[in-house]
């Protein structure tokens, strides 16, 4: 009888996982991504990211301009601690609890801001034959035709907002795919 209950419980859990999808992925941090995406082995996405304002998004919160804006907005905390600022200057919004030890908010807006928390797909996404598996595990592929993810931060709510033209911005962050072997 206990074996039947255990079997039924396992069947129920399997069904629930299948219906609801993968468990919540954790943010791993940009340094993890750099191992394969810096030199060309897995592409040069990390090297491209390092040269973008996204890589320095958190650092901008430490500057005098950010402090001035925070004061003007009446924020109670320093910009580097204020949720109003962190929501766009840190992957995961600065308050994510689903993080692995390698994740550092100081990295700013990382790969995972666009591609989703990576713990579930980090080891499978690099091989073309695993792409669908990686997407099923939470990998998000960006599109130059879809600005929704970008406009969560690049919008008039930002005190330093500039007109956002997806085509122009996409060109600044485009990193392509690694060459096929």
Find all residues with CB under 8 Å of 151, minimum gap 6, and list them.
Answer: 164
CB distance 149 to 142 below 8 Å? yes
pLDDT tens column, 119-160:
999 988 888 888 999 999 999 998 888 899 899 999 999 999
**Structure token digits, residue 180:** 């096929």
Radius of gyration over every alpha carbon of the chain, rounded to an integer in angstroms: 19
Least confident range from 48-57, 156-165, 170-179: namely: 170-179
Q: Indicate the domain borders of the chain.
A: 22-173
The pTM of the full predicted model, rounded to 2 decimals, is: 0.80
CATH architecture, range 22-173 = Orthogonal Bundle (1.10)
Alpha-carbon distance of 56 to 30, in angstroms, equals 12
């Amino acid at each position: 009888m206990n074996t039947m209950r255990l079997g039924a419980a396992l069947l129920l859990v399997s069904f629930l996982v299948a219906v609801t999808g993968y468990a919540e992925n954790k943010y791993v941090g940009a340094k993890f991504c750099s191992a394969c995406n810096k030199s060309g082995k897995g592409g040069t996405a990390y090297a491209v990211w390092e040269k973008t304002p996204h890589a320095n998004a958190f650092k901008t919160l430490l500057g005098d301009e950010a402090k001035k804006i925070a004061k003007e907005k009446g924020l109670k905390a320093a910009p580097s601690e204020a949720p109003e600022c962190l929501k766009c200057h840190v992957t995961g919004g600065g308050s994510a609890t689903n993080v692995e030890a390698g994740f550092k908010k100081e990295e700013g807006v990382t790969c995972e801001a666009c591609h989703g928390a990576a713990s579930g797909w980090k080891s499978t996404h690099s091989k073309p034959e695993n792409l669908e598996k990686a997407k099923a595990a939470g990998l998000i592929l960006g599109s130059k035709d879809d600005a929704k993810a970008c406009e969560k931060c690049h919008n008039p709510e930002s005190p330093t907002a500039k007109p956002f033209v997806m085509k122009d911005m996409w060109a600044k962050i485009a990193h392509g795919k690694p060459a096929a072997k």
